[in-house]
């Protein structure tokens, strides 16, 4: 029984667009993680009805945490990035969250770092405050693992390729853990240029909104060795791929979904062997990015069918608009060699 709007927001739909090509489509993916994490924290006695759930967010996780707090009757404090729009801020406040906007910084690294410092200061000064640590606590894997463990694919593949943006690391790691109950899983990650997670911070893409799919600071929840391949994509390619996804399969979703669609469509699906299938992650709807993507629907600057990646071996090889490293194609023991 669904007793709260968060319950249905956390439930994805499995869309099969071609034989063996599946999309796990969420209304708001991080709600799944937040609900399970808060439920387990309550069960373990790490938080109680007097607790204040605290974290930093650029928007999507903030709403997820506020909805989880609302469902379980807890208080919530969000240190919000300046990228959080007024509609989202109104939604957070309507859910009862206390929202503190952090003044803009000269870079995303400074912005994320300042938000974390404010969270730490608030935790130290406030009784009953609990830091959710969405970037660092592996408990955030569990909601995704529960969902993946219940998925049934009609073709029952032996090998399943999982494609998704890396972001905080929780969704790809958690889903892979759940899928491993029934399949041999190969995970492929998406990164923007400018992210420290896979060493592209030296490549500037001024248009890319990296919050949500990359990072300017270290995240403990990213298990780098999970990923067989990483694709680094520019904003122009991300927008082109997202527009193509809208037009080709009718899925209205955000930039990270478009990136995953292009990698799945061009790099994974054509090379599937017998007994292999793929699932790509579509984390949320496309409303947040619709204005940025609109020009690529009507007058694309890049021709989707002509796109191919530059194969790279080391960080100095990375170039816009699309670089790709597949560990099966190069001699590399682990990601520390990149």
Structure tokens at 130: 């609990």
Per-residue pLDDT reduced to its tens digit, 83-95: 778 888 899 999 9
Least trusted range by pLDDT, from 111-125, 153-167, 306-320: 111-125
Per-residue pLDDT reduced to its tens digit, 266-312: 999 999 999 999 999 999 988 877 777 778 877 777 889 999 999 99
Q: What residues does each domain of the chain span?
A: 5-29+139-337, 31-131
| Per-residue burial over 276-307, b = 16 or more CB atoms within 10 Å of its CB, e = otherwise | bbbbbbbbbbbebbeebbeebeeeeebebeeb
pLDDT above 80: residue 108: no
- Domain 5-29+139-337, CATH class in plain words: alpha beta
Angle at 203 between CA 198 and CA 209, to 5 degrees: 80
Q: What angle, rounded to 10 degrees, do the helices at 290-298 and 255-263 form? A: 50
Q: Are both 5-29+139-337 and 31-131 of the same fold? A: yes
Going edge to edge, which strands form the sheet with 98-101?
98-101, 75-80, 52-57, 129-131
Three-state SS for 76? Answer: strand
Strands 184-192, 52-57: pairing is: unpaired
Per-residue pLDDT reduced to its tens digit, 46-78: 999 999 999 998 788 999 999 999 999 999 999
Per-residue pLDDT reduced to its tens digit, 187-245: 999 999 999 999 999 998 887 765 567 777 789 999 999 999 999 999 999 999 999 99
Per-residue pLDDT reduced to its tens digit, 248-270: 999 999 999 999 999 999 999 99
pTM for the full predicted model: 0.94
The arrangement of secondary structure in 31-131, i.e. its CATH architecture, is 3-Layer(aba) Sandwich (3.40)
Rounded Cα distance between 242 and 253, Å, is 7
């Amino acid at each position: 029984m669904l007793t709260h709007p968060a319950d249905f927001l956390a439930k994805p739909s499995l869309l099969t667009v071609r034989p063996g090509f599946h999309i796990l489509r969420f209304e708001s993916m991080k709600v799944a993680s937040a609900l399970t994490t808060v439920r387990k924290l309550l069960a373990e006695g790490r938080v109680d009805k007097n607790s204040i759930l605290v974290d930093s967010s650029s928007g999507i996780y903030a709403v997820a945490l506020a909805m989880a707090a609302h469902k379980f009757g807890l208080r919530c404090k969000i240190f919000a990035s300046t990228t959080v729009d007024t509609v989202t801020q109104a939604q957070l406040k309507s859910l009862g969250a206390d929202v503190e906007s952090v003044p803009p910084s000269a870079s995303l690294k400074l912005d994320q770092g300042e938000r974390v410092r404010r969270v730490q200061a608030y935790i130290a000064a406030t009784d009953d405050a609990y830091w959710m640590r969405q970037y660092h606590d592996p408990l955030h894997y569990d909601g995704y693992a529960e969902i993946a463990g219940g998925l049934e694919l009609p073709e029952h593949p032996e090998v399943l390729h999982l494609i998704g943006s890396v972001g905080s690391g929780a969704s790809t790691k958690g889903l892979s853990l759940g899928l491993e109950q029934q399949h041999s899983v190969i995970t492929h990650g998406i990164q923007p240029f400018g992210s420290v997670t896979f060493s592209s911070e030296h490549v500037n893409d001024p248009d890319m909104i990296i919050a949500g799919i990359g990072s300017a600071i270290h995240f403990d929840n990213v298990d780098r060795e999970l990923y067989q391949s990483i694709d680094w994509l520019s904003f122009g390619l991300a927008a082109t791929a997202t527009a193509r996804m809208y037009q080709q399969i009718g899925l209205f979703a955000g930039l990270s979904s478009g990136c995953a669609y292009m990698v799945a469509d061009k790099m994974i699906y054509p090379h599937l062997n017998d007994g292999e299938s793929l699932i790509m992650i579509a984390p949320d709807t496309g409303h947040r990015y619709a204005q940025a993507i609109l020009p690529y629907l009507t007058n694309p600057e890049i021709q989707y069918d002509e796109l191919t990646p530059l194969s790279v071996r080391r960080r100095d090889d990375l170039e816009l608009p699309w670089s790709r490293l597949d560990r099966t194609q190069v001699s590399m023991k682990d990601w520390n060699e990149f």
